[in-house]
Chains A and B, each alone.
Chain A
Amino acid sequence: MATKASRTAARAMVSPAVILLLGWMIVPLAMTLYFSFLRYNLLNPTQGGFAGFDNYYYFLTNPAFFQALTNTLTLVLGVLVITVFGGIGLALLLDQPIWGQGVVRVLVIAPFFVMPTVSALVWKNMFMNPVNGMFAHMAKAMGLQPYDFLAHAPLASIIVIVAWQWLPFSTLILLTALQSLDREQQEAAEMDGASVFNRFVYLTVPHLTRAVTVVILIQTIFLLSVFAEILVTTNGGPGTASTNISYLVYAQSLLNYDVGGGSAGGIIAVILANIVAFFVMRMIGKNLDA
């Protein structure tokens, strides 16, 4: 891409894709923006017209909004903490020469291939169900009272479910990073008198920062919009105890049939995601510079 002609040609070549993607993004965004300023409730078709910032006002002052905001951030943070630390731990274990390594690796990666709705249902019915669930059986076997996870600790339960789904992803990325750790560096550190622990702190951890950054960035994007797991397990409840922003938008527009309010929520979610992205990039983005 050195000459002027080749740069022009390159621009011409990529422009269809760029225009397509831009349209793909701009059209729904513009329509959402448009609806968010309309009085548009499916239960009340006679009422219409321009609503000004009313939809935003009602969405933001909805008592559920603040809880949904904290739930969203707790969910993201909780899953990130579990997957990053759990991922490093698992990656370190999987990096050891063990018998049956191939099979173990496939098993570790398996959860990633299970659809979110399916895995959430499996967790809900087979593990966390207070009557038939595995955990209930285990509790009973030990003479304890079964715990109704989804009723009493709904957000924590969802964090566990989502973390279980994302652990393979972080493990995989961190494992490849571990495997690219230079063996001679390790040996040099060993000769320099660094213990196993010191080698982990001074060599492995700095080496992993870039991979951890990638894990955090990618997961944050997906975790901000967790939805299926909440829908099939708790329906955002009890009350709004496990409602996050994307679930609140759904509840607003499809349970309350308030298209205008839901659109305003959608726009707020977009703004929120950008704020989070800004801070995440500020904090850890420099790790990506070579």
Chain B
Amino acid sequence: MGKITLRNVVKRFGDAEVIPPLDLDIENGEFVVFVGPSGCGKSTLLRLIAGLEDTSDGVISIDGLDATDTPPAKRGLAMVFQSYALYPHMTVRKNIAFPLKMAGLSPEAAAKKVEAAAKVLNLTAYLDRKPGQLSGGQRQRVAIGRAIVREPKAFLFDEPLSNLDAALRVNMRLEISELHQTLKTTMVYVTHDQVEAMTMADKIVVLNAGRIEQVGSPLTLYNRPANLFVAGFIGSPKMNFVTGAEAEAHGAPTIGIRPEHIDLSAQNGDWQGKVGVSEHLGSDTFLHVHVPEVGVVTVRAGGEVAARHGDTVWLTLQADRIHRFGPDGKAL
């Protein structure tokens, strides 16, 4: 079981209110991702759930029981830190066994669990090494191993992949998703990377300055962003926003259109523009098109598009994909 509920949770550091009153439900077995720009309070929120920070106000309950004042060790949650936080003078084996030892488990039973976890995480060959002798990805796995053996109600991850190189990050992303499929334990995952959020989450919580901007499945956020912030944050490259007369023509103060929802033509369309920088990724090409009266519009085109710098192109917006936002930034 691992159902976590936050009601009116507030966190203040001195006078600074980092988390204004916030409600959130995390269902049992869900993979929830907190995503938002750096400094928006993701880590703080996670640490509140973990019990590493005291709430200034509000109630956190785990499996229906009030856990607001429960010490971290008693909450039954396991955390994987950004810096891995492995114990440097202990071998991998001892690192993974540490929570079991602290729980008073017999050494034989602990050894069995460590072996099992090591097998799942491909760490068997490294059990007698010290963390300093491991690569970043292996350290990450040890940190996860230390969390798994406790059989927690929920896993908490704080930007676990941000210290890894790009290729490894993609691998570990898959491994963690894989692990979630196997264990079916609740996971709460913090990241500033919307790609990680989109690829891993069952449910994404978009945070901005401590406030929840929107909660929903990845595709909900992609297809129906609740406001300008979510629209701009989810999706890569970023959604194009247009204001002024062109927007009014579509019936809103601001409209948004994703680069992949603009059709490109050499002959005709809604907007005429000049190609600026074009980024060739092989599978796709991102064109930055300068449209008079509108600004720079990013367009996603096929990998074979032969547009050059300075070429004149025509853009057509896919009418049913246009997002309209009111004067307060909320979606209409």
**Chain A residues at the B interface, C-beta cutoff of 8 Å:** 182, 184-185, 187-194, 198, 202-203, 206-207
Contact = CB atoms under 8 A, between A and B. Distances in A.
Given A190-B73, A193-B73, A182 B102 contact: no
Contact of A187 (B81, B99, B102): B81
B146 interface: yes
Nearest to A206: B89
Contact of B85 (A185, A193, A202, A207): A185
Nearest to B50: A191
Contacts of A185: 85-88
B150 A192 contact: yes
Contacts, number: 56
Contact of A191 (B73, B86, B88): B73
B83 interface: yes
A272 to B, nearest CB: 33
A165 B98 CA distance: 40
Interface in B75-116: 77-79, 81-83, 85-90, 98-99, 102-103
6 contacts: A184-B82, A188-B79, A190-B52, A190-B71, A192-B146, A193-B99
Given A193-B73, A203-B87, A188 B102 contact: no
> Does more than half of chain A's interface fall in helix, strand or loop, or is it mixed?
helix
Nearest to B80: A188
A192 B81 contact: no
Contact of A198 (B81, B89, B102): B102
A216 B325 CA distance: 69
Contacts of A188: 79, 81, 85, 87, 146
A198 B103 CA distance: 12
Contacts of A193: 73, 99, 102-103
Given A198-B102, A202-B98, A191 B87 contact: no
A189 B87 CA distance: 9
B83 A184 contact: yes
A187 to B, nearest CB: 5
A191 B72 contact: yes
B83 A192 contact: no
Contact of B102 (A184, A194, A206): A194
Contacts of A202: 87, 90, 98
B224 to A, nearest CB: 37
Contacts of B71: 190
Contacts of A182: 83, 85
Residue with the highest number of chain A CB atoms closer than 10 Å, among B73, B85, B90: B85
A90 to B, nearest CB: 23
Contacts of B81: 184, 187-188
A206 B89 CA distance: 7
Contacts of A207: 89
A189 B78 contact: no
A182 B83 CA distance: 10
B141 to A, nearest CB: 15
Given A184-B83, A187-B52, 16 more contacts: A184-B82, A187-B79, A188-B79, A188-B81, A189-B87, A190-B52, A190-B73, A191-B72, A191-B77, A191-B78, A192-B98, A192-B99, A192-B146, A192-B150, A202-B98, A206-B87
Interface string B215-256: 000000000000000000000000000000000000000000
A190 B73 CA distance: 6
Contacts of B89: 206-207
Residue with the highest number of chain B CB atoms closer than 10 Å, among A191, A202, A206: A191
A44 B91 CA distance: 67
A182 to B, nearest CB: 7
B297 to A, nearest CB: 43
Contact of A192 (B52, B73, B88): B73
A187 B146 CA distance: 14
Interface in B183-226: none
A187 B88 CA distance: 14
Nearest to A198: B102
- Counting from the closest, the 7 A-B pairs by CB-CB distance are A192-B99, A188-B85, A193-B73, A184-B85, A193-B102, A206-B89, A184-B81
Contacts of A187: 52, 72, 79, 81, 85
A141 to B, nearest CB: 47
Nearest to B94: A202
Contacts of A189: 87, 98, 102
